[in-house]
């Protein structure tokens, strides 16, 4: 899909315009310096799932990236709902992006204005692979909070993921596992990672990952269904001994992993099935925040 040909409307700096006419300059600051932050929000039956959690993270990300603005939760929420209606999206995705204008060709941003665009489209699952996905290991480590504000969902934090994903694809893997600078498990190119061993669920701490909204939802689901969840720093050999592994993300939802390099894992794990069942219930309820689970 060439997103330049997206049908429907895009919200661009306070106006709903035809998607094909929603243009920014090739000399835009955020294109050259990746100085933007964004969100990905799932729409189920016309309702954006965990909307408040996504808006909170978007506003936090823009603050961290010093993107001065007066957008607030009410403004964002109102225009997201309006866009979903205008574009008649039943099941799909919303992509708000906050970026800088074209008033600088250097990291100096004094004259740049903060701008916003919100797009939406009907979209199936990211992987949609019921047989589980395959992963290899990225040669680059994931950044951590001491090097880069990884808690922000910012365009800049994706470069290593993009390169690693290209390399994984060349080797015929679906995705790649990223380790942190101390060789602990971090996450995949665009999803958080969990695994199950002896009926206990494990996931990494947040110092070198994006703290996904779906990750937070899954941790809360585990509490609800009394599944023990341990959060810590774990090395690759621990992960490779897991009974089952899965990724989480807005688009991927709960995605089992079939193999990491040559190591195979159970994709029919009962624990993963139970988590998926609960997640489906939450999708139907259209909860606004992961803390409502």
Residues in contact with ligand PMP by CB under 6 A are 40, 161, 187, 190-192, 209-210, 212-215, 248-250
Q: Which is nearer to ligand PMP, 9 or 57 (CB)?
A: 57
Report the nearest approach of ligand PMP to the CB of residue 194 (Å): 12
How far is the C-alpha of 149 from the C-alpha of 230, rounded, in Å? 24
Q: Which is nearer to ligand PMP, 61 or 79 (CB)?
A: 61
| 48, 57, 112, 212, 227 from 76: Cα distances, Å | 12, 12, 21, 20, 35
Q: Which is nearer to ligand PMP, 29 or 215 (CB)?
A: 215
Report H helices in 35-139: 51-64, 73-86
Instruction: Kindly report the number of other CB atoms within 10 A of residue 115's CB atom.
Output: 21
Q: Which two tokens stand for residue 42?
A: 């799932």
Q: Which is nearer to ligand PMP, 210 or 244 (CB)?
A: 210
Number of residue whose CB is nearest ligand PMP = 212
Q: Which is nearer to ligand PMP, 37 or 112 (CB)?
A: 37
How far is the C-alpha of 230 from the C-alpha of 178, rounded, in Å? 19
Q: Which is nearer to ligand PMP, 109 or 253 (CB)?
A: 253
CA atoms within 13 A on the CB side of 244: 21
Report the nearest approach of ligand PMP to the CB of residue 117 (Å): 18
Q: Are 43 and 93 in contact (CB under 8 A)?
A: yes
Report the nearest approach of ligand PMP to the CB of residue 110 (Å): 30
Look at the block and give the residue holding tokens 């996504």. Answer: 54
Report the nearest approach of ligand PMP to the CB of residue 156 (Å): 12
Q: Which two tokens stand for residue 155?
A: 């365009």
Report the nearest approach of ligand PMP to the CB of residue 40 (Å): 6
Q: Which is nearer to ligand PMP, 191 or 196 (CB)?
A: 191
Report the nearest approach of ligand PMP to the CB of residue 161 (Å): 6
Q: How many helices (H) and strands (E) does the chain have?
A: 7, 16
Give me the long-range contacts of 237-240 (CB less than 8 A, separation at least 24): 238/185, 238/197, 238/202, 239/177, 239/185, 239/193, 239/195
Instruction: Kindly report the number of other CB atoms within 10 A of residue 121's CB atom.
Output: 18
Report the nearest approach of ligand PMP to the CB of residue 27 (Å): 27
């Amino acid at each position: 899909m060439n997103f330049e040909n997206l049908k429907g409307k895009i919200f661009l700096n306070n106006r709903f315009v035809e998607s094909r006419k929603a243009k920014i300059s090739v000399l835009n600051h955020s294109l050259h310096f990746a100085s933007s932050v964004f969100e990905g929000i799932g729409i189920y039956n016309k309702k954006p799932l965990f909307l408040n959690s996504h808006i909170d993270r978007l506003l936090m990300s823009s603050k961290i990236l010093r993107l001065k603005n007066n957008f607030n939760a009410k403004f964002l929420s109102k225009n997201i709902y309006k866009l979903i209606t205008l574009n008649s999206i039943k099941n799909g995705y919303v992509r708000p992006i906050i970026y800088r204008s074209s008033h600088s060709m250097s990291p100096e941003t004094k004259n740049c204005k903060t701008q916003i665009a919100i797009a939406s489209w009907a979209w199936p699952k990211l992987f949609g692979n019921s047989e589980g996905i395959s992963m290899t290991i990225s040669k680059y480590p994931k950044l951590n909070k001491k090097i880069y504000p990884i808690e922000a969902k910012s365009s800049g934090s994706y470069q290593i993921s993009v390169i690693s994903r290209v390399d994984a694809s060349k080797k015929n893997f679906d995705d790649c596992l990223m380790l942190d600078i101390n060789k602990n498990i971090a996450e995949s190119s665009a999803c958080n990672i969990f695994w199950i061993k002896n009926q206990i669920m494990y996931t990494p701490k947040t110092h070198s990952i994006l703290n996904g909204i779906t990750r937070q939802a899954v941790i809360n689901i585990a509490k609800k269904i009394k599944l023990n969840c341990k959060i810590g720093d774990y090395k690759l050999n621990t992960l490779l001994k897991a009974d089952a592994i899965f990724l989480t993300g807005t688009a991927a939802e709960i995605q089992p992993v079939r193999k990491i390099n040559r190591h195979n894992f159970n994709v029919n794990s009962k624990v993963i099935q139970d988590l998926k069942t609960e997640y489906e219930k939450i999708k139907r309820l259209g909860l606004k925040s992961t803390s409502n689970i």
